[in-house]
Amino acid sequence: MAKWLVMWKMTQEYWSLPDATRFKILEDAMKTVKADMDSGFVKDWGIKADISGGYIIYEGTETRCVEACMRYAKYLSSEGTPVISLTQFSEVFKKRTAEIRK
């Protein structure tokens, strides 16, 4: 299963809302992320100290990642990329190193 690093930031539409509305949107988003963490779909989530944006790590298909990002599309812009673990990279690195040394 692929892991996806998604960097997100709040849109201008979000910042133009009244404080109470913005905090409610953020509260609802945190509940959704927590449920996704409990299910194992979200592996990690973080927000910048100024709350302007952050990151999320999903583990799943491309389609599921896009669906998850679309839930927040009105108030967040995002950019995602597949990532691999240190263990996975180490295997690729060893293989490539062996090929170069031949």
Give pLDDT tens digits for 2-42. Answer: 999 999 999 999 999 999 999 999 999 999 999 999 999 99
Q: Tens digit of pLDDT for each residue in 49-75? A: 998 999 999 999 999 999 999 988 889
- Predicted model pTM: 0.83
Q: Which domain holds residue 17?
A: 3-101
Residue identified by tokens 């999903």 is 58
| Mean local confidence (pLDDT), 76-85 | 93
Confidence of residue 102 (pLDDT cuts 50, 70, 90): confident
Which CATH number covers residue 27? 3.30.70.1030
The burial of 66, by beta-carbon neighbours within 10 Å (0-12 exposed, 13-18 middle, 19 or more buried), is given as: middle
How many domains does the chain divide into?
A: 1
